[in-house]
Copies of this chain bind each other. A is one copy, B any other.
Amino acid sequence: KTDFNIAVLPGDGIGPEVVEESIKILNAIAEAFHYRFDFTYGLMGAEAIYKTGNPLPGETLEICKQSDAVLFGAIGDPSFDNNPDAKVRPEQGLLKLRKELGLFANIRPLKTYASLVEKSPLKKEIIDGTDIQIFRELVSGIYFGEKFTDEEAGYAYDNCKYHRDEIAPIVHMAFREAQKRRKKLTLIDKANVLDTSRLWRKVCKEIAEEYPDVELDFMFVDNAAMQLVLNPKQFDVIVTENMFGDIISDEASVIGGSIGLLPSASIGNENALFEPIHGSYPQAKGKGIANPIASILSTAMMLDYLQLDQAAEKLRQSVEYAIENKYVTVDLNSEQPYSTGEVGSFIADYI
């Protein structure tokens, strides 16, 4: 297959700017490798609420379902964050999209770049050589369990529910990834308190028998929150449930000092979505200072997913070349910064 339908959801804040650079890159790749990418744009997030009243219009969902892959920018707008009573919120669009597309696995690779180590809040000797892959379950758990508020009586609840069929697929994925790496898988849970965590442990243990070459271990989430800071190098592949994954993966994202570089993939059986892990960063919107590399590396993950391995490799090489030569935005090079568009063009030209 050489022709692909790509759904493009620029979203809010700096989303449109960084996604534009990814499209530049995909056009360069199409030319170099003789592929064809057709882009169909959809509204999503605050942008979509302003224009349609709906954070995920039906048309956008349809575009995504028809696509080979979804390229997504960012979501979120301060005018909603400061109004917790808003009935319609940008985040609902993202949650609904994940659920509707069945994107059960959110995958975040975390690597430190030798040339950027000094940007980290952590000491060099702590983070040097860290290389972690986090698998977060994305369409179940407390995010999607029953929610209820009784204003009158003054209480609310959120139910965290897991079925073993919601656990097994991502655990298999994580084991397969560990086999390709350092063969260590850590389940992060709270099995000393939660029934759902005990179910996760049980399912992981059963599945482990199919992967005898991978060492499986367990870590309580509170301890994991410490260990990620104390000694991140101890981790290879991590798998965890939705809420713990949200917290732990964001914590882990800052250890390398390069959150502007980190990509993510959200994978389902029939669809997949690729987005930078940084947020919509509204303060930077329109200033040309946003780092496009996280979006560009998300595009590399998209190329992996589409099995365009050579193109993915070429893209990653180009990004590393740009970073090594300090052809980067102000977050990584305050002395001689390049703009969002310059960095994207540099990488595209290199391809």
Q: Which residues of A contact B (CB under 8 A)?
A: 81, 84, 89, 91, 95, 121-123, 126, 142-143, 145, 147-149, 153-165, 190-196, 198-199, 201-202, 218, 221-223, 225-226, 228-231, 243-244, 246-251, 253-255, 259
Contacts and interface: CB of A to CB of B under 8 A. Distances in A.
Nearest to A249: B222
A158 B195 contact: yes
B193 A156 contact: no
A288 to B, nearest CB: 24
Chain A to chain B: the 6 pairs with minimum beta-carbon distance, closest first: A225-B251, A157-B161, A154-B164, A222-B250, A156-B195, A155-B163
Nearest to A95: B193
A254 B91 CA distance: 32
Nearest to A118: B123
Contacts of A160: 142, 157-160
A5 to B, nearest CB: 31
B247 A158 contact: no
A247 B227 CA distance: 12
Nearest to A193: B143
Contact of A157 (B159, B192, B251, B254): B159
Contacts of A163: 153-155
Given A155-B164, A225-B248, 8 more contacts: A84-B202, A121-B123, A121-B231, A122-B229, A143-B193, A154-B163, A190-B243, A226-B253
Given A84-B191, A193-B95, A253-B226, A199 B156 contact: yes
13 contacts: A84-B218, A91-B192, A91-B193, A121-B123, A123-B123, A142-B160, A153-B163, A155-B163, A157-B195, A190-B246, A229-B255, A244-B247, A247-B247
A159 B223 CA distance: 22
A199 B142 contact: no
A129 to B, nearest CB: 15
Nearest to A246: B222
Contact of A251 (B123, B191, B229): B229
Given A247-B225, A250-B223, A192 B89 contact: yes
A241 B162 CA distance: 22
Contacts of A247: 221-222, 225, 244, 247
A16 to B, nearest CB: 21
A70 to B, nearest CB: 21
A99 to B, nearest CB: 13
A195 B149 CA distance: 6
A126 B218 CA distance: 31
